[in-house]
Chains A and B, each alone.
Chain A
């Protein structure tokens, strides 16, 4: 019997009881649909997190101070005041132009900002002009801070779009107006382009001031909270990490790397940490959806068992007329595979639709891989085989006389 005929016969049989066929398929539709929707949601989240981390700058290494140790008391990471502007200068002097393209010393702290009666608490970052290059910050209106502002310790500020919307009425241009940071007046000279940041480091909710102003006039500190270093190429990052490490150890007069009072992490470290978190998240969602797929498969098995019982006489007749085991098994397996396959394809369509809608709503990129489509088709066919096998075997094992006598 040719395959096309088996297929045709199975489809004819399945259309006899349309409601039952529909309900059996529905379980698989929901199972496959939710796997597709949730996995693609997870992958979308992963991509959006990766994009955001990459938007912080490329080939980026960040040096942060380690924890302060006085006697036996270990302070929190970042509490040390050992990282200085001179460290940044030294890195620039020895590596700039060879393996490093930019060195950006930064000092950041949260502060209360007020303007025209509104106030907000946000991150104030003391920067130097190369900050825009390292962190891919663009200006939407006005200008960024210049070397002049740095040298003159001017009280000028560049605002992130979030701060602008928090402090100013819509339509008002903040350029040229005054804001107060911790009680001191600053003149707004520019606004940055929105990066659409969400989550742990919102790059829109930030106020940039000259590094020297931040250190001396605002917060009275001589240390840095971080030094951002951009390597020339991705391949050089490890080398730069080593070179900066040795340079700082030497400058801080430390011989043992385990006692280092600073730490250097690369963007790739953050990226892979974030990826592994979102990857786990995706796997978790997929696993939950997978359970519904198994439930759908059990539904198929149930229906196929009912079908086999109902058609006992038919099976008996077919065996009496010469059907072999494999003929009967094939007949029933094809039926269950059609159920799961059709369910899988419909579920995939539905899942893609749902994930496109979700990604539009939560504004994350929609992502589906060709691999997952192939996987879905394989899995749904496989479910048909796994859950159809037992009913099909049961049918094939029926004794022809018993089956013919069955009422």
Chain B
């Protein structure tokens, strides 16, 4: 389902070239739960941006669901992100002063789904992550773990091909982090493909497979 072939990413700052990813190739199959681990500066964030269609590789190909993402323009990439990728960020990235329910409807707005349908779907997924009683709360009124559950609900509403989680437990107290991991595991059991970027080995250990990145290369 995901094919990454000979992907390089080079950042240029003036005359200085930084190689963030150096000839990276791997595959991820449908339904896998993969952890991408590595120390900071290893290139794992860059890899996540490319997998998330937020950035394009300098060379090499990235094929998602049979589509070569490297050839697409800005609006087409936006559509790929909208339909095929569910993001869960370390910093949650919920809209401030906006209810949990409205936050969860956001991706559906850009998918052109009618407003009744949006509210119905959003309520279902908030129920699934155990927040039926907090739908009208704004992010400021929710704990870190609750905010991240809202973000997970948001990532799921359009039934994406992959869920891409970037350090999802990084900003959360450990008890709540456990709950978040339980949700991911449950999603994996239901057949979702999950890619999780983390630097914590105990979190990575809960995945099926671990891809280790170091100095822009895959080391295992």
Residues of chain A touching chain B, judged by Cβ–Cβ distance below 8 Å, are 1-2, 5, 16, 313-314, 317-327, 399-401, 404
Q: Is the interface of B mostly helix, strand, loop or mixed?
A: helix
Total A-B pairs in contact (CB under 8 Å)?
55
Q: Of residues A1, A322, A327, which shows the largest number of chain B Cβ atoms within 10 Å of its Cβ?
A: A322
> Does A323 contact B55, Cβ atoms closer than 8 Å?
no
Q: With A1-B110, A317-B95 in contact, is A324–B78 under 8 Å at CB?
A: yes
> Does A321 contact B49, Cβ atoms closer than 8 Å?
no
Q: Which of B59-67, B80-88, B180-188, B210-218 contacts A (4 or more CB under 8 A)?
A: B80-88
> Does A318 contact B79, Cβ atoms closer than 8 Å?
no
Closest A residue, CB atoms, query B76: A324
> Does B74 contact A401, Cβ atoms closer than 8 Å?
no
Q: With A322-B79, A324-B75 in contact, is A313–B93 under 8 Å at CB?
A: yes
Q: Which of B75, B82, B115 contacts A321 (CB 8 A)?
A: B82
> Does B110 contact A324, Cβ atoms closer than 8 Å?
yes
> Does B54 contact A16, Cβ atoms closer than 8 Å?
no
Would you list which residues of chain B between 89 and 113 have a CB under 8 Å from chain A? 89, 93, 95, 97, 106-107, 109-112
Q: Digitize B108-145: 1 where CB-to-A-CB distance is under 8 Å, 0 elsewhere.
A: 01111001000000000000000000000000000000
> Does A318 contact B106, Cβ atoms closer than 8 Å?
yes
Q: With A16-B97, A321-B82, A322-B107 in contact, is A404–B112 under 8 Å at CB?
A: no
Separation in Å of the B183 CB from the closest CB of chain A?
19
With A318-B106, A322-B83, A326-B75 already in contact, 16 other A-B pairs whose C-beta atoms are closer than 8 Å? A1-B109, A5-B109, A5-B115, A317-B93, A319-B78, A320-B81, A321-B106, A322-B78, A322-B81, A324-B75, A324-B78, A324-B79, A324-B110, A327-B110, A399-B55, A401-B54
**C-alpha spacing A323/B89, complex, angstroms:** 17
Q: With A1-B112, A5-B115, A401-B54 in contact, is A321–B95 under 8 Å at CB?
A: no
Q: Which 9 pairs across A and B sit closest by C-beta, in order of nearness?
A: A322-B82, A322-B110, A324-B75, A321-B107, A317-B93, A324-B78, A401-B54, A1-B109, A400-B54
Instruction: Give me 9 A-to-B residue pairs in the complex whose CB atoms sit less than 8 angstroms apart, sorted by A's number.
Output: A317-B95, A318-B106, A320-B81, A321-B81, A321-B106, A324-B75, A401-B55, A404-B89, A404-B93
Separation in Å of the A209 CB from the closest CB of chain B?
83
Q: Is B43 an interface residue (CB 8 A)?
A: no
Q: Is B168 an interface residue (CB 8 A)?
A: no
Residues of A near B109 (CB, < 8 A) are 1, 5
